[in-house]
Structure 1
Amino acid sequence: MENKFLKEFNQENSILVISSYPRKKERYSKGVCAVASFTKNTLLAIKKQNPDKKIVILTMQLNNKTEIYKEDEMLIVRCFKRNNPLSYLNLLNFARKFNNVKTVMLEFEFSSFGDVISTGSLSFVVWALFILGKKINIIIHQVLLDLREISSHIGLSRRSLKIKAFNFALKRFYKFLSFPAQNIIVLEDELKNRLQNIISGDKITVIPHGVDRQVNYTLTKASARKKLGIKSNDFVVLYFGYLTWYKGVDFLIKSFQKLNQIKEKQVKLIVAGGPSFTQGEKEHYKKFLAKTEGLAKGYPHIQITGFVAEDQIANYFKAADLSILPYRRFMSSSGPFSLALSFEKPVLLSSNLGLLIESKDAKEALDKVGLSKESLTFKLNSKDLLTKIISAQKASQHKKLLAFSKVLGEKRAFDNLAPIYLKTILQNYVRIYNRKLLVSPSVTR
């Protein structure tokens, strides 16, 4: 490493971040997990609030070689390999070089760092950092205590001995991972409720998933539809995100096979996403993906786009009338939900995902616009989904749904959450947020 980088970034008040991270000059990259964009948006907001704060990101290699470069006045060190726990030694070597930096942020999501062995080995990295005298803050993106709930997603039988063994190990992993940390941050109240059955609730802070307010607001619906070849009078429903079982994409496509018109309007379902980055090479997933893609064949009003490049994201959200998240299981916050808020799009959630709008700030937003949780959620069956879509088409309801996304999106802007992250990771406590400064996002300790 060049001495000039060490001299500039190896400071006591710097922050060392361990996470997946997007490619150069991108925020939403192909070939990295979704945590990457979350991390970059969070760090850019922290940097905007504190321009003098030095941030070092230790992240995965992209071309099987170590790269060190500056971007957005932050230092990016691509020093370890996904799915290669031996490369964690190189990660620790770089962490040791930044010996003056005491504060560490680790963005953790299952499969983000690799398979079971790579994920399990990460806990030993956390302990090694603790021994090196680092103050560790872990942002845990997923909390699931019973893998039987997602057995179809991970390709295991609910009754298999393997899943029983994993369940036995899961709670112990969370406990072992979290013990050396001074703070645990989760993105939903429900995730804290689950996690505090294993570790002390006093250590856990809830900070909601940030909303990207740097998106293209000047693009009109008409322009977006023209770019995508969508008729101006079509009613466009958008599913955005990877094609996975737990997100219910196959259910949604099945539901729309015979639903090509609603109240004299032609309906178009756009499935804007491609194969899962973390699941893509697994045989059970390949079968699921082939089956899901097959469901759309022969139905011209259903389109599966494949991975959506960063410069195309705005087109799809702007072209849509309604965003739908038909998740089968709730195990994390939702990036697509936050993107829908970014573009101020009306959104419907499956009842399984209804916990997303039970937080304090979401309830405040619902009350402010005159909506109930029930008006945004549907049971996971085609009949109830259609009922809620028809309701969302009504001008008065559509207006309220738009207002809800706008209000909650403003509350959860990454810029508004950045001060809370700094208070949390730089201190052993977090004070109640300042309503005037932070526009009252939901933060609980």
Structure 2
Amino acid sequence: MENKFLKEFNQENSILVISSYPRKKERYSKGVCAVASFTKNTLLAIKKQNPDKKIVILTMQLNNKTEIYKEDEMLIVRCFKRNNPLSYLNLLNFARKFNNVKTVMLEFEFSSFGDVISTGSLSFVVWALFILGKKINIIIHQVLLDLREISSHIGLSRRSLKIKAFNFALKRFYKFLSFPAQNIIVLEDELKNRLQNIISGDKITVIPHGVDRQVNYTLTKASARKKLGIKSNDFVVLYFGYLTWYKGVDFLIKSFQKLNQIKEKQVKLIVAGGPSFTQGEKEHYKKFLAKTEGLAKGYPHIQITGFVAEDQIANYFKAADLSILPYRRFMSSSGPFSLALSFEKPVLLSSNLGLLIESKDA
């Protein structure tokens, strides 16, 4: 690492962030998990409030090589590999170089860093940082205490011994991960309610999911629809996000197979998203994806777009009349819900997301 970077960023009041992170000059990138955009939006907001604050992001490599560069007056260090716990040694090596930086912020979501072994190994990274004298703050994006609720999502039988073993380990993982942390941050009240059954509620703070206000408000519905080839008098329902079981995209498509008209308006369901980044290579997910895509075939009023590039996001939200979130399970705050609020769109929630409305910030 260049000495000029160490001199500039190795300061006591700097922040060391460990997280997935978007590609250069992007906020919503393909090939990284959804937490990446959340992290960048959060850090940009911190920089806006505190322009002199120095921020170092230790994140995953994109092309199997270490990269160090400045962007938005922050230092990005791509120093470890997803799904490779041995590369955490390199992460810790870089953390040691920033010996004057005492505050660490870890953005944690299951599968963000890799499979079960990579996720479990991350807790030892947290303990190592604690031993190095770092003050650790962990943002836990998902809290689920019974994996039977998402058995189809993870490809396990509800009655299997494996899921029982994972459930046994899950609570202990949360506890082991959280013990060395000064603060645990979650994005919803319900997530705190669940987590404080395992760790002290005094350590847990709720900070609501941010709403991105840096969106294109000048774009009109008419111009967005023209760009996307959507008729002006269609009633457009938008599902935005990865195609996953727990988000209910399969039964949503099935529900709309025969719903192609409301009163005198043609209904168009747009499923604006592609395969899950974290699950894409798993066999049970490949079967789910093929089944889901098959449900839309033969129904011209149902469109699956694939991954939506950052410069196209505004077009889809602006073109929509209604955003829909048919989630089967509530285990994290919803980025698509936040985006719908950003574009001031009405949102239809499944009953399983009713707890979002009951939150203090609703």
State the TM-score bracket (shorter-chain normalisation): over 0.9
What's the CA shift for 1:357? 1.1
Q: Give the equivalent residue in structure 2 for 1:239.
A: 239
Q: Is the 8 A contact 2:58 2:91 kept in 1?
A: yes
Q: Give the equivalent residue in structure 1 for 2:124.
A: 124
- The secondary structure found in structure 1 opposite 2:68 is strand
CA distance in 2, matches of 1:316, 1:354: 25
Q: Give the equivalent residue in structure 2 for 1:155.
A: 155
What's the CA shift for 1:358? 0.8
CA distance in 1, matches of 2:133, 2:46: 23
CA distance in 2, matches of 1:153, 1:297: 23
What's the CA shift for 1:347? 0.3
What's the CA shift for 1:113? 0.1
What's the CA shift for 1:296? 0.2
What's the CA shift for 1:360? 1.5
Cα deviations by residue, 1:142-189 (Å, 9 ceiling, x for unpaired): 000000000000000000000000000000000000000000000000
- The secondary structure found in structure 2 opposite 1:25 is coil
The equivalences for 1:267-306 within 5 A come to 267-306=267-306
- The secondary structure found in structure 1 opposite 2:29 is coil
What's the CA shift for 1:309? 0.3
CA distance in 1, matches of 2:152, 2:61: 30
CA distance in 2, matches of 1:62, 1:328: 32
What's the CA shift for 1:4? 0.1
The equivalences for 1:41-440 within 5 A come to 41-361=41-361
What's the CA shift for 1:224? 0.2
Q: Is the 8 A contact 2:17 2:57 kept in 1?
A: yes
Cα deviations by residue, 1:76-108 (Å, 9 ceiling, x for unpaired): 000000000000000000000000000000000
CA distance in 2, matches of 1:59, 1:120: 17
What's the CA shift for 1:130? 0.1
- The secondary structure found in structure 1 opposite 2:16 is strand
CA distance in 1, matches of 2:28, 2:358: 28
- The secondary structure found in structure 2 opposite 1:360 is coil
- The secondary structure found in structure 2 opposite 1:255 is helix
- The secondary structure found in structure 2 opposite 1:192 is helix
What's the CA shift for 1:359? 1.1
- Structure 2 runs not aligned, ≥5 long: none
What's the CA shift for 1:336? 0.4
Cα deviations by residue, 1:366-396 (Å, 9 ceiling, x for unpaired): xxxxxxxxxxxxxxxxxxxxxxxxxxxxxxx
Q: Is the 8 A contact 2:189 2:360 kept in 1?
A: no
What's the CA shift for 1:70? 0.1
Q: Give the equivalent residue in structure 2 for 1:37.
A: 37
CA distance in 2, matches of 1:277, 1:63: 16
CA distance in 2, matches of 1:211, 1:38: 10
CA distance in 1, matches of 2:251, 2:196: 33
Alignment length (residue pairs): 361
Cα deviations by residue, 1:103-156 (Å, 9 ceiling, x for unpaired): 000000000000000000000000000000000000000000000000000000
What's the CA shift for 1:352? 0.2
Cα deviations by residue, 1:235-264 (Å, 9 ceiling, x for unpaired): 000000000000000111001000000011
Cα deviations by residue, 1:401-440 (Å, 9 ceiling, x for unpaired): xxxxxxxxxxxxxxxxxxxxxxxxxxxxxxxxxxxxxxxx
CA distance in 2, matches of 1:9, 1:194: 37
What TM-score does the superposition give when structure 2 sets the normalisation length? 1.00
What's the CA shift for 1:297? 0.2
Cα deviations by residue, 1:180-203 (Å, 9 ceiling, x for unpaired): 000000000000000000000000
CA distance in 2, matches of 1:22, 1:357: 29
- The secondary structure found in structure 2 opposite 1:162 is helix
Q: Is the 8 A contact 2:242 2:276 kept in 1?
A: yes
Q: Is the 8 A contact 2:83 2:118 kept in 1?
A: yes
- The secondary structure found in structure 2 opposite 1:59 is strand
Cα deviations by residue, 1:216-249 (Å, 9 ceiling, x for unpaired): 1100000000000000000000000000000000
- The secondary structure found in structure 1 opposite 2:349 is strand
What's the CA shift for 1:34? 0.1
Structure having the larger proportion of residues in helix:
1
CA distance in 2, matches of 1:19, 1:171: 22
